[in-house]
Chains A and B, each alone.
Chain A
């Protein structure tokens, strides 16, 4: 279990997260939803140690997360990636093996084989030798999921993986997430599309600078919670239009 306790993060004295406590279970896909600026990405980055937090501890199975750095895979929101970089799809996936290799060791046959297999799993074998700028947004996202596969991590965190990608890519990525879940890994997905919440996630965290509610989707994804966090109009639309379909 991944356990976050009293996490507080502030940017220039403006608190983004205040005293957040939340748990993520192994063998579950947990969604994090919340309005824009609620601190979803901040929560993840603080957990990963990418940004400084004012207070808080993150433990995994009772031990500090720092000890599990090689067990973490993070699929970032792709906003400022250099798509002109001279690197092929295969080479990007191969970088997933670097953490395990450590300094001075070069990727060899097993690493290359694992990278090719991961590319195959996300259906991009044919693109292995392409420069990454030649891919669509969805294909690119699948490349980064393939890299996470290669990392063989126990905890996989994805920030808005489905934004602006095609249906085929979304299905392919979702299939991988489910494989990971069935293998007992901890999967955390920051998400914005409320429509698909109940078919994608097992557990759900609603975040708005603090935890609004957290637990199994059926318990948390309720009209009152959505109305309280987003708006009552949105809640009405979602829960009258999709009732019985999504659940």
Chain B
């Protein structure tokens, strides 16, 4: 209890901790929201791939002094496009295509970053460094959060229908591919923001885990989005607390908390009904 009190006390005193808290909440919200569509579309692998594939973009932006968002978006979209191209122009399955493209991009990113000779930066990119968030970082994160919310509000019905029934959306003339790449673009922006809190390696956890937890509690998409956003924010704040108090790396701390919340939900959510199902045989779906 005293540590919680001292955490709150420190929040009042240290700007860097305030910045960290604000960023953590924003990243938790945006990744929870976008994560819902990633898991409902069965694109967890794709989410993982895109989040890794932005690495060379981060490096190039760093070398050229560009905004990280620009570099990351270019490489994120390039990776999404290549994955789609390889899968549709060969008999390889999409997950194979994902594996090839993202590992290549990731490898390229490593080399570029080592050329830029910034070893400390690499460590921060990989594992996150939420306690070193600058004011510019916060502004960028605000912009991305705004974009994510606008994207989901304006395209809610299109995102809903393409996630649920893509063929139907195609028959009434919706530009399904365009929406897919729009989502991929937003995903790369979220990834860049999440780099600060959890690092590139664990971005996928922020996308999938809070959304999956939300899925266990509701049967309505709108509710799921709100739950996932809240859940992502809560996990980020608690993770930050442990990171500050126990001196854990922020990324792993946040991700572990998210996983624990998922674990608890998995056991007690009424929709999941694990406890009742363990007692009686599973009903076979019709």
Contacts and interface: CB of A to CB of B under 8 A. Distances in A.
Interface of A: 48-50, 69-70, 72-74, 76, 81-83, 85-88, 91-92, 95, 98-99, 101, 103-104, 106-107, 131, 133, 136-137, 147, 151
Interface stretch (B45-53, B60-68, B72-80, B157-165): B157-165
Contacts of B181: none
Q: With a 10 A CB-CB cut-off, give which of B155, B156, B164, B220 has the most chain A CB atoms.
A: B164
B170 interface: yes
A69 B172 CA distance: 6
Q: Which 4 A-B pairs have the closest CB atoms?
A: A99-B172, A131-B219, A69-B173, A74-B171
Contact of A95 (B40, B165, B218, B224): B165
24 contacts: A49-B170, A50-B167, A50-B170, A50-B171, A76-B168, A82-B40, A82-B42, A82-B164, A86-B40, A86-B215, A87-B164, A88-B219, A95-B160, A95-B168, A98-B157, A98-B158, A99-B173, A103-B155, A103-B158, A106-B156, A107-B157, A133-B285, A137-B286, A147-B168
A86 B172 contact: no
Q: Is the interface of A mostly helix, strand, loop or mixed?
A: mixed
A104 B154 contact: yes
A81 B220 CA distance: 17
Contacts of B42: 82
Given A50-B167, A95-B161, A107-B157, A86 B224 contact: yes
Interface of B: 40, 42, 154-158, 160-161, 163-165, 167-174, 215, 218-221, 223-224, 285-286
Nearest to B91: A12
Nearest to A87: B164
A70 B163 CA distance: 20
Given A86-B220, A88-B220, A131-B219, A48 B171 contact: yes
A75 B219 CA distance: 24
A96 to B, nearest CB: 9
Q: Is the interface of B mostly helix, strand, loop or mixed?
A: helix
Contact of B157 (A72, A73, A92, A106): A106
Contacts of B164: 82, 85, 87, 92, 95
A155 B256 CA distance: 53
A107 B154 CA distance: 13
B221 A86 contact: yes
B171 A69 contact: yes
Q: With a 10 A CB-CB cut-off, give which of A50, A81, A85 has the most chain B CB atoms.
A: A85
A158 to B, nearest CB: 12
Nearest to B163: A85
A151 B167 contact: no
A76 B172 contact: no
B143 to A, nearest CB: 22
A119 to B, nearest CB: 17
Nearest to A99: B172
A81 B165 contact: yes
Contact of A151 (B157, B172, B218): B172
